[in-house]
């Protein structure tokens, strides 16, 4: 798992509970996405609409429990962003 995935996960974990919900991912990418892209934490093309953030969540949620662990999240973003 990449260090970049950890930085991004921590930035999206708004309540700092070590897990991501769909609402957190959508809200955090909406609020922080452009800043994260400007800092090089996420590719500019990785900042999309609320629907894009929701689709990213669905793709990462392998076990269907509606919560993303760091491992689920990192596996997807490492592959998708080429980390």
pLDDT in tens, 42-76: 998 888 899 999 999 999 999 999 999 999 999 99
Give me the percent of the chain exceeding a pLDDT of 70: 100
Is CATH 3.10.580.10 what the domain over 3-80 is classified as, yes or no? no
Burial of residue 73, with CB atoms counted within 10 A of its CB: 0-12 exposed, 13-18 middle, 19 or more buried:
buried
Mean pLDDT over 16-41 rounds to 95
Tokens found for residue 30: 């909406």
Q: How far apart are CA 36 and CA 38, in angstroms?
A: 5
Specify the pTM: 0.89
Q: Where are the domains of the chain?
A: 3-80
């Amino acid at each position: 798992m990449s260090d970049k995935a950890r930085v991004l996960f921590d930035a999206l974990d708004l309540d700092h509970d070590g897990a991501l919900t769909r609402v957190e991912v959508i809200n955090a990418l909406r609020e922080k996405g452009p800043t994260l892209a400007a800092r090089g934490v996420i590719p500019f093309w990785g900042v999309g609409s609320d629907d894009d953030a929701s689709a990213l969540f669905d793709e990462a949620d392998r076990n269907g429990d509606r919560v993303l662990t760091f491992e689920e999240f990192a596996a997807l973003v490492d592959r998708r962003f080429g980390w």
